């Protein structure tokens, strides 16, 4: 589960911006949270967080920073290349031209902090810490100077001296060369089979950043569960009054690699599907469920969305559905995944093309089952009707806005005093919390 996230010097994010899924200490609201057991006692963790603000306030920059960090961690980098970072373009000398990404998260009974700094050419710092009874202890720390020389310190708690893991780590630490200054040491440990790195990279792989234009939804399903997903989505689309009365399939299973070769699919799409292993993909206006079957063979099944028109059942492809139905089809797999495995979903513009009640239905799904495997959702939205303290805690709602220098700032609603019975939406629209459009000359 995600506990905290920091980012700086990325697009409209200048100085470090902090986002937290830990409840505010002042909150007496016991709803919508889950308890985890750590080496420093039991902690409460929120299951949802929502960012609200005017257009061009930095909501998408926040999501893109997460996507950049997640991809940089899990994909690895080719030696000798740049980092591809898109930094804040204003004049901020105190940032020293470096960007920061830092995650605090809970994984298999342990709390970790992992972060790194980089510029357009190289990684400057990288660290992995693990929480113990007294404080965070260093697993490893790395620094790379401007000449490309890398120094790595391995913490005493990482592995026993003389163990095979420790011997391999010592070899890998000595092998970081100038041409690898753009690479993360964590990925190098993962790529060489170090168990802790494999688990941590696995956690980052389960982060799903979903933009309105995203084409792949990675899901914790197996081939035999593809039919369950189809039934789930069919039932949900009927309940949500979309006009879809069922989902059927077009033809038999298709071998993914044969289809990819025949349709000359882009290598990037093929790589993404191979990495995801299972999920939903949109190709040329058609929607497919894909999953790994026997012997690692990936197969696809095309989905058809059925409507009852007069006395006939008529099938529609994905691109023939309304934008609202398409958005639901994109997002419903999140609800299917709850309880099957831990995942953190970051959804940009969750309310796009959706009625308020449908957006709220999706968000309610993350708190209705308190016994799930730790799924969380962080979303951005323009629909201010979602700012409802009957449906959300104050510390689940965040406001983001830009200052006069074009720098985004983030602040939770729990920072503001709200009296019992006060209308939070009305107070927001009146500008009490900031993060509203300033209409000049109107």
Using 50, 70 and 90 to split pLDDT, how confident is the model at 178?
Answer: confident
Question: In this predicted structure, which of 20-29, 116-125, 228-237, 295-304 has the lowest mean pLDDT?
Answer: 295-304
High-pLDDT (> 90) share of the chain, %: 53
The more confident residue out of 403 and 319 is 403
Q: Has residue 442 got a pLDDT over 60?
A: no
When pLDDT is averaged across residues 197-205 and rounded to a whole number, the result is 95
- What's the confidence (pLDDT) of residue 134? 93
Average pLDDT in the 261-265 region? 91
Residue 128 reports pLDDT greater than 90: yes
433: tokens are: 């919390």
User: At 88, is the pLDDT very low, low, confident or very high (cuts 50, 70, 90)?
Assistant: very high
- Please, are residues 63 and 346 in contact by the beta-carbon 8 Å criterion? yes
Mean pLDDT in residue range 21-40: 90
Q: By CB neighbour count within 10 A (0-12 exposed, 13-18 middle, 19+ buried), where does 257 fall?
A: middle
Q: What is the pTM of this model?
A: 0.90
pLDDT band at 363 (very low <50, low <70, confident <90, very high): very high
Q: Is the model's pLDDT at 80 over the cut of 60?
A: yes
Q: Is residue 141's pLDDT more than 60?
A: yes
Q: Are 62 and 13 a contacting pair, CB within 8 Å? A: yes
Query: For residue 147, what pLDDT is reported?
Result: 80
Taking only the tens place, the pLDDT of each residue in 368-421 is 865 556 889 999 999 999 999 999 999 999 999 999 999 999 999 999 988 776
Mean pLDDT check: name the lowest of 84-88, 192-196, 295-299, 342-346: 295-299
> pLDDT grade, residue 99 (50/70/90)?
very high
Q: Which domains does the chain have, with CATH numbers?
A: 1-206+341-442 (3.40.50), 217-336 (no CATH)
pLDDT given for residue 371 in this prediction: 59
> What sign does the CA torsion over 230, 232, 233, 239 have?
positive
Q: What is the reported pLDDT for 319?
A: 82
């Amino acid at each position: 589960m995600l506990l905290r996230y920091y980012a700086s010097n990325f697009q409209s994010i200048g100085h470090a911006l902090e986002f937290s899924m830990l409840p505010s200490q002042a909150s007496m609201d016991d709803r919508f949270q889950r308890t985890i057991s750590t080496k420093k006692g039991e902690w409460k963790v929120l299951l949802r967080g929502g960012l609200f603000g005017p257009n061009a306030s930095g909501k998408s920059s926040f999501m893109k920073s997460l996507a950049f960090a997640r991809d940089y961690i899990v994909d690895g980098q080719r030696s000798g290349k740049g980092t591809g970072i898109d930094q804040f373009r204003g004049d901020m000398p105190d940032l020293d031209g470096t960007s920061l990404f830092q995650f605090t998260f809970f994984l298999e009974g342990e709390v970790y902090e992992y972060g790194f700094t980089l510029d357009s050419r190289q990684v400057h710092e990288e660290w992995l810490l693990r929480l113990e009874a007294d404080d965070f202890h260093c697993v490893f720390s790395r620094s790379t100077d401007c000449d490309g020389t890398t120094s790595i310190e391995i913490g005493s708690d990482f592995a026993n001296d003389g163990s095979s893991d420790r011997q391999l780590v010592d070899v890998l630490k000595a092998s970081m060369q100038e041409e690898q200054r753009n690479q993360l040491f964590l990925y190098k440990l993962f790529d060489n089979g170090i168990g802790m790195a494999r688990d941590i990279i696995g956690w980052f792989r389960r982060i799903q950043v979903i933009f309105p234009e995203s084409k792949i939804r990675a899901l914790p399903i197996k081939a035999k569960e593809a039919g369950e997903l189809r039934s789930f989505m069919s039932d949900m689309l009927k309940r949500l009054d979309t006009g879809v009365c069922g989902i059927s399939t077009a033809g038999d299973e298709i071998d993914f690699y044969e289809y990819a070769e025949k349709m000359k699919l882009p290598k990037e799409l093929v790589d993404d599907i191979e990495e995801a292993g299972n999920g939903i993909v949109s190709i040329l206006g058609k929607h497919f469920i894909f999953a790994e079957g026997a012997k690692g063979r990936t197969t696809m099944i095309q989905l058809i969305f059925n409507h009852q028109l007069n006395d006939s059942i008529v099938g529609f492809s994905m691109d023939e559905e309304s934008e609202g139905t398409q958005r639901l089809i994109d997002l419903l797999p999140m609800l299917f995944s709850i309880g099957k495995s831990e995942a953190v979903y970051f959804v940009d513009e969750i309310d796009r093309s959706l009625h308020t009640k449908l957006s709220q239905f999706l968000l309610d799904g993350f708190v209705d089952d308190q016994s799930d495997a730790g799924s969380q959702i962080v979303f951005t939205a323009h629909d201010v009707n979602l700012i409802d303290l009957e449906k959300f805690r104050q510390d689940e709602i965040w406001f983001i806005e830009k200052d006069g220098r074009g720098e985004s700032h983030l602040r939770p609603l729990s920072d503001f005093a709200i009296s019992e019975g006060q209308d939070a939406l009305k107070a927001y629209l009146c500008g009490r919390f900031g993060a509203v459009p300033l209409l000049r000359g109107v």
